[in-house]
Amino acid sequence: MFMNRLSTALLLALASAAPAFAAASSDNVARATWDPKILAPTAQTVWQHGQVFTVTWDTSNPPASVTNPNGEITLSKSGQDSSVLASNFALKDGSVEVTVPSDAEPGSDYHITLFGDSGNVSEDFTIQ
């Protein structure tokens, strides 16, 4: 019985000390998730195979510190796997140029996803 009480007291002491230790840790910096709105492409956008287009997003209200400051753009067609069009760019730049894959099937059900802190999906657009 004494050992049970001692174990319980020890566990309670460790649990109450954990928040103080975590607060002192330099890795425990408060960060905000940033989900910038994609401005282009839009539903009226038409991309052509092999051409270079600029994907843009709203940078007007970034948090002071983001979880992942680097981005990635993927292209997806409904019901198919996505492909990476650009990666390792700064989210705060607000745009990145991408080349439309020459093997993309024509369709009006494409969208891009901007990854970084979170995934933000564009409106569906067309590739011809």
Residue 17 is assigned to a structural domain of this protein: no
For the cut 80, the answer to whether the pLDDT of residue 125 exceeds it is: yes
Identify the three-state secondary structure at position 50: coil
Residue 108 is assigned to a structural domain of this protein: yes
Work out how many domains the chain is built from and give that number: 1
Residue 26 is assigned to a structural domain of this protein: no
Do strands 83-90 and 70-77 pair parallel, antiparallel, or not at all (unpaired)? antiparallel
Residue 52 is assigned to a structural domain of this protein: yes
Q: What share of the chain is helix, strand, coil (3-state, %, to 5)?
A: 20, 40, 40
Residue 14 is assigned to a structural domain of this protein: no
Helices and strands (H, E) in the chain, number of each type: 1, 9
Residue 11 is assigned to a structural domain of this protein: no
pLDDT digits (tens, 9 = 90+) for 9-59: 444 444 444 444 344 434 555 556 777 899 999 999 999 999 999 999 999
Q: Which domain holds residue 97?
A: 38-127
Residue 44 is assigned to a structural domain of this protein: yes
Q: Say which residue the tokens 């050992």 belong to.
A: 3
pLDDT digits (tens, 9 = 90+) for 62-114: 877 777 778 999 999 998 889 999 999 998 899 999 999 999 999 999 999 99
pLDDT score recorded for residue 61:
82
CATH of the domain at 103: 2.60.40
Residue 81 is assigned to a structural domain of this protein: yes
Q: 47 — phi, psi (to 5°)? A: -100, 145
